[in-house]
Amino acid sequence: MSQAELVAAAEEWLAQDPDEETRAELAELLEGVRRGDGHAAAELQDRFGMRLVFGTAGLRGRLGAGPNRMNRVVVAQTSAALARFLLAREQRPSVVIGYDGRKNSAVFARDVAEILSGADVRAVLLPRMLPTPVLAFAVRHLRASAGVMVTASHNPAQDNGYKLYLGGDSEGSQIVPPADREVLELIGRVVAEGPADRLPRSRDYQTADESVVDAYVVATALPAPSADLRWVYTPMHGVGWATAERVFEHAGIPAPSVVEAQRDPDPTFPTVAFPNPEEEGALDLALAAAEETGAEAVVANDPDADRMAAAVRDPSGGWRTLSGNDLGLLLGWRIAERAAREGASGTLACSLVSTPGLRAVAERYGLGYRETLTGFKWISRVPGLIYGFEEALGFLVDPEKVRDKDGISAAVAFLGQLLDLKADGRTLDEHLREFDETFGAYASRQISLRVSRLEEIAEAMSRLRSRPPVTIGDLAVEQVDDLSRGGELPPSDVLRFRLAEGARLIARPSGTEPKLKLYLDVAATSGDADERRSRAAAVLERLTEGARSLVG
């Protein structure tokens, strides 16, 4: 678009934007463009030169004016398109709407409800800010046609998002192709038909009562064994605590010490650089609280409580932060054992970038195993699923209740495992050693390259495709799988390098952040536990050195 076209588009936006803050921000930006400010012109191009698209988790982006930002106009247009999509499928569809504690989440949620109601879609707004898993549960519990969760999960404070779930045959899973493309096409039609402020609205929507939350608490609170446990919990300035507290109590889990500075929702996330428990330093306050209270474990949820992180004391008295793969294998092993005891069948699933160790667990217990593309919208749809996870701290421990990752139910499962071990007089360290001796030692690492320009990610992936390495570090590349060509999985911008000595490297763009991600995995299955761990660690270091040089 030329600068004149961008200015015209921005002026049209000003006329339809109901938000005083974004109108003022855009008016100031336009004034800068008229003064010849190059930064303002580049910012206008970024906001109006493209439109937010559905990624791994629906719409997600920075707050601000323009079609390439999250704002009330984009939310209204998207909701009007969603209404048309649903009305083409059902005569009287219904949508349940949830929101978290981020800036504008409650405002956006009411906009969704009003637009849907104005389009003759029955809209049900959850009673207050709640975790994402409660919304995912509510889609099934209320037999809704769809669900919308207003959240940006663990993204930086300046972001928000619009996460879309489908009921019916999708059973409360996140939207996938081709439905997402249909919604995007309908958004284009809505935009072309006129300003967002002319879209019909109605306040004749329902507000759910607390019974929905009560039902989630009962469904999630699996009874825990009776044992003493000192532990620390943090919701990381998100909405997790109010619901998690009830779940823990209902399950009979000993009450935790809560990180007071992070207990209540705060959209600015003042104590963490990024509100993501994967990020370095994110658990520092929780670990400090654990030292003060003599705790044995730390459990954290991200701001919308769909992810769970954990750390435990190691035998030396220090702390071991468990990776998503560590937790994924522990929880998967526990669920596989339970299935064996009950004579149940089913499938264990994980994303293709997660550790291959889950396959070994499935094979030992005679269960099915599936790898999927990244994202729980794929994992949750695996036939016969009894457990799914991905390395980014996402765990689906009860597909019959919630068809999405759920950090609260995962915390219950993990804490239940700790309590089981304590009741048997065993430690988690001993349990982890038993895993390595039974299935092999699996070591993983992720390298993330954050970029300022999204084009840098495409350039890097193009480079790896056109000139694939013959070695990574000193490990020979034995096979390259380009998943953009399809095959066993739907086409995706992913490269998988199978290497000597059982190593693997996967490269993919992040679906939610401006990052190029490299996933490194190695396995060792010969020798005792110590020998296996030592060998896996050594190969991982060699692979890491090569991976870092691969992306400069």
Each residue's pLDDT tens digit, 265-287: 999 999 998 899 999 899 999 99
Question: If we measure between CA atoms, which residue out of 512, 495, 513 comes closest to residue 504?
Answer: 495
The two three-digit tokens of residue 357, written as one number:
């160790």
- Read off φ and ψ for residue 439, nearest 5 degrees: -115, -20
Per-residue pLDDT band at 511 (split at 50, 70, 90): low
Looking at residue 438, what is its pLDDT?
Answer: 97
Per-residue pLDDT band at 515 (split at 50, 70, 90): confident
Do 110 and 94 contact (CB within 8 A), yes or no? no
What would the pLDDT profile of 58-80 be if each residue is shown by its tens digit?
899 999 999 999 999 999 999 99
Q: Average pLDDT for residues 162-176, to the nearest whole number?
A: 95
Q: Average pLDDT for residues 383-391, to the nearest whole number?
A: 97
What would the pLDDT profile of 11-46 be if each residue is shown by its tens digit?
999 999 999 999 999 999 999 999 999 999 999 999
CATH topology of domain 210-439: Alpha-D-Glucose-1,6-Bisphosphate; Chain A, domain 3 (3.40.120)
Angstrom distances, CA of residue 267 to CA of 103, 274, 288, 486: 6, 12, 23, 40
Q: Which residue do the tokens 């600068």 mark?
A: 3
What would the pLDDT profile of 235-251 be if each residue is shown by its tens digit?
999 999 999 999 999 99
Instruction: Express as a percent the part of the chain with pLDDT over 90.
Output: 88
Q: Which residue do the tokens 């999630």 mark?
A: 220
Name the average pLDDT for the chain. Answer: 94
Per-residue pLDDT band at 260 (split at 50, 70, 90): very high
Task: Report the predicted TM-score, pTM, of the whole model to 2 decimal places.
Answer: 0.94
In three-state secondary structure terms, 156 is: coil
Told to judge if 211 belongs to the known catalytic residues of this protein, a careful annotator would answer no
Looking at residue 53, what is its pLDDT?
Answer: 85
Per-residue pLDDT band at 418 (split at 50, 70, 90): very high
Q: DSSP secondary structure string, 368-437? A: EEEEE-SSHHHHTTSTTEEEEEETTTEEE--TTT-SS--HHHHHHHHHHHHHHHHHTT--HHHHHHHHHH
Of the candidates 105, 117, 145, 153, the residue annotated as catalytic is: 153
Looking at residue 170, what is its pLDDT?
Answer: 95
Per-residue pLDDT band at 55 (split at 50, 70, 90): low
CATH class of the domain at 440-550? alpha beta
CATH number corresponding to 55-203: 3.40.120.10
Domains 55-203 and 440-550 share a fold: no
In three-state secondary structure terms, 549 is: helix
Residues 6+ apart with CB under 8 A from 316: none
Q: Where are the domains of the chain?
A: 1-49, 55-203, 210-439, 440-550
